[in-house]
Every structure is written in structure tokens, then in C-alpha cells.
Structure 1
Amino acid sequence: MATFAQLYSPQGLLPLVSADLGVPAHEAALLVSAATLGLAVSVVPWSLAGDRWGRRPVMVVSLAGASALAVASGLAPSLEAMMVLRLFEGMAHGGVAGLAVALLAEEVAPRAVTAAAGTYIAGTTLGGLSGRLIALPVAEAASWRAGMLAVSAVGVLCTLGFLWVTPRARRFVPSRTSVRQVTRTVRAHLHAPALVAVYAQALLLMGGFVALYNYVGYTLLAPPFSWDPSAVGLVFLAYLAGTWASPWAGRLAARHGRLRVLVAATTAMAVGVALTLVPHPLVLVPALVLATGAFFAAHSVASAWAGTAAVTGRAQSTSLYNLAYYAGSSLFGWLGGVFHEAHGWPGTVVMVVALVLTATVVAVVVLRGDETAPAR
């Protein structure tokens, strides 16, 4: 909640930012891409800190720093200054994104890791949903900056909640991992075809998913929909499909095999994205629900796969997964706006479907050999 509400709070506000500042969609989207880029480049350094000082203490520092920077970015005097602060805010958020699954892999029984990771992913959907739902009504009543600051206030409260309820680690063993060791581990991971294929899932699926939600608001505010901003914000309730699908996918993967669940999820996501081309709310909204639930199901399976498939250096493997995940968010979240400016909503949809189908092909071709048993 504290991390993902603040990280994505500008997403639903992008059409308001464009209207207020007179900037095109792909420039407004940099408020999201700057933060996710910062997160992408920071996850490996945060994993080093987590190896040395423990996952929970480092996550506390991450949350506190990110909340302070979120407040500062909401008060920044210009879009450019806000983008710089959002970059640093994203770097601060990397501690949670880079270490949460590694903490679970250490503290949870091995047979339950996939389900536990699915529960964590469900929490990220609630965080992302709450950020959008809180920001838009406040923005409509006051301003888009006020909407971002309202989410930051919630982030501070959730940070305090994390400090209150999170137990101390029982199985963590500190290690002073050197940069050379990390480089060696990262190189080994990048030479493992199965792990590279899992990282590709993160890059392509997350890139397409963020592009989908970055620009659907522009479509719903314009004819033939012409919705109010608050009504557009309600579309993010589709995230609840991800809250349900994430742990469900983890349980299915443990029972039927990861690859089968992953491919079914990515196929369903492609279908859902394609159906958003139908210009009627009775089709577009259910299509968003389908695409959202399918994305988080795939993400749940792939993120757990990144941790369990690495024999050593699990923190580095989950960090590489997160690096790819948020690099995809930054790159394709911005590129989807370029397609949108050139070809409208159909251009964005075609790009997203192409990304999802590429991820599906990579999974089928490369991961089949790694699917020798259900998830560990």
C-alpha cells in the first residue's frame, strides 16, 4: 500500500496534467515513467543493502525515504522539478519492490512460497488501486497536485502500519556481498535461459499493462464515452480482479504447473486488451477486468519463478526481475503514448497486444524445458 499507491498515484491524473499544463500524453506519462525508471535502476543496490543489514530494516528505510520524496514531488514548482523528484522517489521505493519476495522466500515454507508471493502481489494491486481511487476525486475537487499529496498522506500512515505489524526475521543470515560477487551472480543469472525468459515476462507484460492504464483515461474522457474524471477513476476498480487472481494463480501453479498457468494468463490478457477496441463500456470495462486479472496472475507466477529457479543469489534474481519489470513500465509506458499520439487508442492497443504475444512465445519456447515439476 505505502509503495504502490504513491508510485502510481499520477497515472489516473495524466489527462488532467495534460489539460492543465498543455503537454501531450507521452510527456505527462513521464511522471509515471520517471518513478518506475528510478525503481528499476535501484533494485540491485537495495538487494545488496538487504543482504548486509536485513530485508525488514532496509524496507523501513525505503518506505520512509519514499514517503518524504513523494510529499516533496507533490509540492514541486514545475513539471521538470517534479519529474526529478519522482525519479528519486522511485529509487527509494526500490527497497520494498526489490526485497519483499526475497524476504518471503527466506521466511515462508518452500511449498508455500508461490502462494505467499501471490498474496504479496495481491497487496500491490490494492496499493495501486487505492492510489488511483484516492487521487482522482481529490483532484476533481481541488487539483491534480492535491490528489498526489492525499495519496502521500496515506503512504505515510501505511509506512507506520508496516512498522507496527511486520515481525522480525527469523531465518535471515547477514552477508557482506561484494560488488564483484553480485556482478558474478548477475552474469550467471543472465546466462541462464530460463531466468532470462522469466525476466522477459516482466519486461513485456508490465510494459504493456502500464501503457494500457496510462492512456485508457484519455479514451474514456473523449467521445464517444465523455466520462467525468471521477467515473474514469472507477475503472481502476478492475485492479480488484488482480487482487483475486494473484493468490489464485499461485495455488493453480503449485497444483498444475507454472508454465501452463502462465501461458493461459498471458493469452487471456491479450484477448482482454484486444477487446478494449470495442467502443462501448459494456465491452471495454469487462475487457479491462479480464486483462488486469490475467496480468496479475501471470506476474504472480513469474515473480515467484524468478526467486525459486535461482539456486543461489535469489535476492539478485528477484532484483533482476524487478529491474526488467519497472524498466518495461518506464519504456513501454512512455512508448505507448507515442503510439497514442500517432494512431490513437488502437495504436496503443496494437503495441500492447504485440508485447503480450511476444511474452507468450518466449515462455512456450524457452520455459518448457524448465517446467519439469510444479512450482517448488
Structure 2
Amino acid sequence: MSKELMDALDVLEKEKNISRDSLFDAIENSLVTACKNNFGRAENIRVEVDRNTCDFKCFADKEVVELEDDVMDPLLEICLDDARKIDKKAQIGDIVPVALNSKEFGRIATQNAKNVILQKIREEERGAIYNEYYEHEHDIVTGVVQRFIGKNISINLGKADAMLNENEQVKTEHYRPTERIKVYILEVRNGSKGPRILVSRTHPDLVKRLFEQEVAEIQDGTVEIKSIAREPGSRTKIAVYSNNPNVDAVGACVGVNGARVNLIVDELNGEKIDIVNWDENPGNLIQNALSPAKIVAVFADPDEKSAKVVVPDYQLSLAIGKEGQNARLAARLTGYKIDIKSETQAKDAPGFRIEDYMDDEDEYEEDEYIEEDDDETEVSDEVYTDEDVAGEDTEE
């Protein structure tokens, strides 16, 4: 029996990731419970299990009294003659451990002991799963689309199921059962029925973690992701910075012939990704963030967290982007409220002098005009902020 028990413990430890000590504690507690059910009490009963051989013994610690007639409770007391059969040095008032025969336990007591062990195993298994996925909180994992629960989706992560709620799904993505997808773990809660894992496909950090996986320079700290702004399923802007002057941050993220970024785009089902250089100078950062639009001048106010941007007339729609997307993402990426004006609009503004906004060296050429497909929009004089984005997302 000891060999069979040891083999069973080895299997549980490897497959369920449950520590042997926890299992031994469960066995000891179950035997104490069996004693209580068999004798009606267990205050003076203890169980010892050999961790190496799995042999176990049950003892009842009894007080020694002089005569057998003095024994008021056989479970708590033992006469001196019987005590000296166990310990020759026993004296009146001593506590003597008396072995109990666990084979005499009834069927109900045995069943209760079994239930205690199984309950402990389930608790330890849930705890092990919770700890495993709690360590991966705010990280990405690969799961398999399992089934639809209303508008939510159950994702199998291997040892546990996660829930992809409707508001964490990308509206342009269509998920199919048995499809493998990468998800970002938002939160791991420890419930009575096991860990509850909430995942996301829309969180900006999903893109960040994908870059960390694919780009070795980010893994070793040479390149840092300073900021990220995302409209799930459509476009992401990411600002990167290199701690090594010999390493191009944008080039490292793009990879040879776009190999690295293309892997991430494929994982995001074609979501466009703009990678720009981070700059401590807010004016330069805003100019980078509004790429691919050409900028005439930028005046940034760090105290107000606002910026005025002047672009050539023919670049205004490109700077704003389709439905204002380029400007919205730039505002999120930089944390600045951005007011974009064309040169004509700016010159018509009271008290405007373009010399106040640009250096003598700033120039632009009309033949540098870059077209972007589907980015022609109605010329607008709007200011795009993060609050505008939240409002538009709600309406959509």
C-alpha cells in the first residue's frame, strides 16, 4: 500500500504541480478526521506519516492513572499496568502514546477520510493554477478559442479557461473555435471554483508584449518602448528609444525587410503599426508622432500639455488622418492636446507670425508630398485629445 501511495503522490506532484508536503498534510488531516468519526472525538489523536516510505501511524495520547477502575474515559486515560506495557518507565500522570488500528475504522469514517484528501487535492490544484497564471498577469499567452458564451468567448489556456469579454474583443476580428490566438492577461482572480482569468485582444500592452517577444534589442534593454497608442483593429503608433547610439531603435523594431513588424501585424490580423523615434523634446516628439505628414512648425507648451502644429495646406488632411485617426493617436502617444492648422488657417489667425513657430533652418518642399491611401478627409480645424477618442469609441 505504501508503494502505491508513493507512486500516486509522485504523479500528483508532476501532473498537478502539487507539493508533496501539502499532500502529506492532507493525508494526516484525513486520518485525524477518520479517528474523530470513529471515536467521536480527536482532541488527543495525532497522525505521523513517514515522508520517505509513506508508512503512517495513528496515536491517542492518554493520561496514566493508577488502576483500571480509575479509567473514566478509555480514549483519554490508561491504567498504569497497561501503560507500562508500552513504556516501562511510565508513571501516574504521564502522557503515553497508544497506537490505534486504522483498519478498524468503519466505512463511513474511511469515506470521510477519502473526501478530505480529495478536497485538499482540489484546493491545492486550484491554488497551483492560480499561482501559475498570476505570475503571467499583464503578459501574453497563447490560447485556443473554445466556445462562445453569449457574446463572450471562452479561451482555453491549457490548464485553465480564460474569458474574453465582448468589450475586450477587436470588432474587426472574427474568432473561430479551435483557432489559436495570443491574448493579454488583464487580471487573475482567485475564486471558490478556481481561478477566474480575464484576457484582452484590445489592450495596448498586447502590442508592447508582442514587440518584446520578437525584438531581441527590447528584451536586452537596448531599445525601450516609451509610449504606445492603439485603436484596436485599425492602427497603432509606438514610440521607441535606443540606449545605444549605434543601434537604430526604429530599424530594430522593423527588422530586415520588415520581418519583425510583419510577424506582429499578422498576429494582429493586418492592424497597421507606425513606429517612430521617441524624443525628450516635445516638439520633435509631436512631429515624429504625426508622421507621415510633413510639419512646418510646432510650438509645444509643456506646462499646459498642449501644442500648436502648422502643416502645409496640402498636408492638412494627411496630418489629421482618416476620421482624425492620425491626430488622435499622436495626441495619445505624446500626451499633448494637439491643435493642427494649415498655413493658410494659421496666417489668417489674429496675431499669428510663422517666424514665432519655426527656426530659420526649418524648410519643406512641395515635391516631398506623401500620399496615404484612404486618408483624404475633410479639412478640419479640430483639436484632438484623448477625451475625444473615448467619445468616438463610445459612439462607435
Higher RCO (C-alpha 8 Å, min separation 6): 1
Which bin holds the TM-score, normalised by the shorter protein? under 0.3
Q: As a proportion of its length, which structure holds more strand?
A: 2
Scaled by the length of structure 1, what TM-score is found?
0.22
Structure with max Cα Rg: 2
